[in-house]
Amino acid sequence: MKLSHYNAAGEASMVDVGGKPETRRTARAHAFVKMSGEVIAALPENPKGDPLAVAKIAGILAAKKTSDLIPMCHSLPLSHVDIETIVEPEGIRVFATAATEAKTGVEMEALVAASVAALTIYDMTKALDKRIEIQDVFLLEKTGVKSGDFHW
């Protein structure tokens, strides 16, 4: 298997997507913030504000900055980013969705958004418990690519 981010000399390089057609591309990523029931119960009284609302904003902003964080990512004109959080007995499940009309996919934007949203939840609740864990960051699906859609 050949990795696309290496040139003929084996050096890291940015993929040239200039010859590819622009298509609608979407991606959805997942992260889980494992925390105790006590921390979950304390979410509404958080003195820093609503961790889930702040995580949504942080995730959206992070998706927009992905090419600044991941060296070989192209900057993309994002047409949509959304963060959904679901509070469960064991923690908070984060879903990040990103979409664009571009020559390359948005899976990195969705993964960065999910990761930063999870980190924001951690940051806003860490004073209550140092054992909070961020787990299971992965790509759920991606569409609009030549190689075919991916669904976990």
Residue 14 forms part of a structural domain: no
Looking up residue 116, the CATH number of its domain turns out to be 3.30.70.640
Q: Which residue has the higher pLDDT, 105 or 81?
A: 81
The residue type of 100 is: T
Strands (E), 53-149: 78-88, 91-102, 133-143
Active-site positions read: 123
Distances (CA, A) of 107 to 27, 77, 91, 125: 5, 14, 24, 27
Count of structural domains within the chain: 1
Write the pLDDT tens digit of every residue in 71-97: 989 999 999 999 999 999 999 999 999
Residue 99 forms part of a structural domain: yes
Asked whether residue 150 carries a pLDDT value surpassing 70, the answer given is: yes
Residue 54 forms part of a structural domain: yes
pTM: 0.90
Structural domain for 44, as ranges: 23-144
For the residues 62-66, what does the mean pLDDT come to? 97
